[in-house]
């Protein structure tokens, strides 16, 4: 019996509820990224105030510092972070891919050198499951190799088959607990046949949810959507679907429209730290001088502190003066914007008016573009 319940559909788009050991997750949902067990620039209360239902933490970084056993001794991520709600931890596969010359793959796992101090480490599916158990992850991800891009079809197939071997080992090593989930990850780069083979392999193993990995790595939005068009219909309707590492608001809209339920990405927090704000009229660069004397709100449609308590000109000043409050306020705003975006998409699906809602969103992004400082 699944803990994921579909409530409504609108075309391929879905609205649902995922029941977990740490509470419900209403989908579609965006998960703020807390790489080192913290969302940068945000207190846990601030993250809660954005409306976030679930956050993501990073297995690779936490295994290196402070260490999974240390996290467990401090009560696990939920207690340590003051985040009793759901937490998803990735498997470490993406970060290991990015190590390039510092890693060595074999059939049973990967040996790599830490980017922090060069120390040698071994990560296998069994160890990844153990680490995520020690972290007390609500949703654990199977260990995979995130296929590089570009990759030939032969390279992508070898990478995908290794990930499927690791997926089976991850499933066998995962410690079942009520309300805790294990997700498998579909790989296969941009090749539809490989994505189909990967999906069939994962379905044969059996997982609580299915992620689509290996995208948003340089292939471009059009190709990403083509891969989703070929991949998402193969996934079971009674399991959540998670597109990893994506993305911009337009990426999210396109993927939700294709039937994806869950997302994470560093874009809104990273943009907030660098002065870029996602708003109902498009992306604004708060460092631009055009905002210096603006006494209006950052976004009149947003209810976050940056928009309700400060004029836009003050936010510009904070970034020009390099005050840490600027990145904090803009990170809060961007996470609230993403939360409002997903809430709006969910409500539109429930009401059967997704297409009109998306058209209105996109029309708003082009409004006043000439004076936005984009």
Q: Any idea which residues carry the catalytic annotation?
A: 90, 264
Query: 317-345: b or e for each residue (b if 16 or more CB lie within 10 Å)?
Result: bbbeeeeeebbbbbbbbbbbbbbbbbebb
The stretches of 232-353 forming alpha helices (DSSP H) are 249-257, 267-273, 305-308, 312-320, 325-351
Are residues 30 and 264 in contact, defined by beta-carbon separation less than 8 angstroms? yes
Rounded distance between C-alpha atoms, residue 116 and residue 65, angstroms? 9
* H or E segment and range at residue 358: helix 354-366
Is residue 77 within 8 A of residue 137, CB to CB? The reply is yes
Measured between alpha carbons, how far is 73 from 44 in angstroms, rounded to an integer?
Answer: 20
Q: C-alpha distances in angstroms, 206 versus 126, 191, 235, 246?
A: 17, 23, 11, 24
What is the distance between the alpha carbons of residues 185 and 244, in angstroms, rounded to a whole number?
Answer: 9
Tell me the two tokens of residue 331. 């990170």
Decide: helix, strand or coil at residue 27.
strand
CB 324 within 8 A of CB 43: no
Q: Rounded to an integer, what distance in angstroms lies between the CA atom of residue 52 and that of residue 56?
A: 11
Per-position DSSP letters for 177-206, written without gaps between them: -TT-EEEEEE--TT-HHHHHHHHHHHHHH-
Q: Cα-flanking dihedrals φ and ψ of residue 34, to 5°? A: -120, 70
Residues whose CB is less than 8 angstroms from the CB of residue 172 and which lie 6 or more positions away in sequence, other chains included = none
């Amino acid at each position: 019996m699944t803990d994921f319940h579909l409530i409504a559909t609108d075309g391929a788009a879905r609205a649902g509820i995922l029941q977990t050991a740490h509470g419900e997750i209403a989908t579609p949902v965006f998960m703020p990224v807390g790489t080192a067990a913290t969302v940068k620039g945000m207190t846990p209360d601030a993250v809660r105030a954005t409306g976030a239902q679930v956050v993501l933490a990073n297995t690779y970084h936490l295994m290196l510092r402070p260490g999974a056993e240390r996290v467990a001794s401090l009560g696990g991520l939920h207690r340590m972070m003051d985040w009793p709600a759901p937490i998803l931890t990735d498997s470490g596969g993406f970060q290991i891919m990015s190590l390039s010359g510092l890693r060595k793959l074999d059939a049973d796992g990967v040996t790599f050198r830490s980017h922090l101090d060069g120390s040698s480490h071994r990560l296998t599916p069994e160890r990844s499951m153990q680490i995520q158990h020690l972290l007390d992850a609500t949703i654990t991800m199977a260990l995979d190799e995130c296929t590089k891009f570009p990759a030939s079809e032969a390279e992508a197939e070898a990478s995908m088959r290794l990930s499927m071997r690791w997926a089976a080992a991850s499933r066998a090593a995962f410690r079942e607990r009520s309300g805790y989930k294990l997700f498998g990850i579909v790989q296969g780069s941009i090749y539809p046949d490989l994505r189909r083979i990967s999906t069939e392999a994962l379905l044969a193993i059996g997982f609580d949810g299915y992620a689509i990995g290996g995208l948003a790595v340089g292939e471009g939005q059009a190709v990403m959507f083509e891969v989703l068009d070929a991949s998402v219909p193969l996934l079971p309707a009674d399991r959540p679907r998670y597109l990893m590492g994506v993305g911009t608001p337009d990426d999210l809209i396109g993927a939700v429209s294709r039937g994806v339920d869950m997302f994470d990405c560093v874009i809104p927090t990273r943009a907030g730290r660098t002065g870029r704000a996602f708003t109902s009229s498009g992306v604004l660069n708060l460092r631009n001088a055009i905002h210096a004397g603006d006494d209006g709100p950052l976004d009149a449609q947003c209810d976050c502190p940056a928009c309700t308590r400060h004029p836009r000109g003050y936010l510009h000043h904070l970034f020009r003066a390099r005050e840490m409050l600027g990145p904090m306020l803009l990170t809060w705003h961007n996470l609230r914007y993403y939360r409002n975006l997903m809430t709006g998409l969910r409500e539109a699906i429930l009401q059967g008016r997704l297409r009109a809602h998306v058209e209105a969103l996109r029309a708003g992004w082009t409004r006043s573009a000439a004076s936005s400082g984009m």
